[in-house]
Amino acid sequence: MNIKERILFEDNHLLIVNKEAKELVQGDKTGDPTLADHLKAYIKVKYKKPGEVYLGIVHRIDRPTSGVVVFTKTSKALARLNAQFANREVKKSYWALVEGHVADDKARLEHMLLRDGNRNKSFVSMTPQAKKAVLSYEVMHRVDKYSLLAVSLETGRHHQIRCQLAKIGHPVQGDVKYGARRGNKDNSIGLHAQSIAFNHPTLKDPVSLSASPPKQGIWHIAPPNMKDLKKTLHD
């Protein structure tokens, strides 16, 4: 799907996109092309901008995860959205396809997580350096050997959803790093950033957007009406 078809919202200050799994939000040691690169090229062509194109990266989602990512076209918008994230005013909801049938229909999970930068992985730990991670989930669907969860984050730790769900015995589908039985051929995992809600950085109006999961890959396991499913924990 080309970049224009994946844009969820655009104005003078914001550019919000449905990221594909396997796509980098910004550059890393691999040197692979990034979503930010594609968006800068899109802006440069569409608006005939000379020279360097500004694009602010407000937040990130993991490379194997798909879904909503917010960028800004102005530094003012970036600073104001950064403040909303820091003050936990932004509401994010994910869909997680996990291994096994989760017993509790809904629950709130709280763990202390420690990030290992060398291994690019987080662990549940009681060391002084660990940080509190909190999420809530609700089971949306159970099928075959999987459960589909709506997950709402209260904190934003490194690999938080992946680590916490693995800790309770239900790793995200395809996430071999956190104990899934097998990976996916395309290296994606069953985690999708489904929606985000915040206040517009200049207009102050509420912005609430959702993104459909990928049409290909493991999401065929989800119920047929999933595209129309708007159930999120912060509705």
Helix (H) or strand (E) holding 38: helix 35-46
- Find the DSSP H helices in the chain: 35-46, 75-86, 160-167
Sequence-separated (6 or more) residues with CB below 8 Å from residue 134: 108, 109, 110, 153, 154, 155
Candidates 69, 68, 67; CA nearest to 21 is 67
Short-list 140, 150, 138, CA closest to 191: 150
End-to-end CA distance of the chain: 29
Instruction: Name the amino acid, one letter, at 6.
Output: R
For this structure, is 105 an active site residue?
Answer: no
DSSP 121-177: EEEE--STT-EEEEEEEEEEEEETTEEEEEEEESS--TTHHHHHHHHTT-PBTT-GG
Compute CA 176 distance to the chain's CA centroid, rounded to the nearest angstrom.
18
Catalytic-labelled residue, pool 62, 104, 116, 228: 62
Extract the tokens encoding 180. 């899934």
Which active-site residues does the annotation give? 62
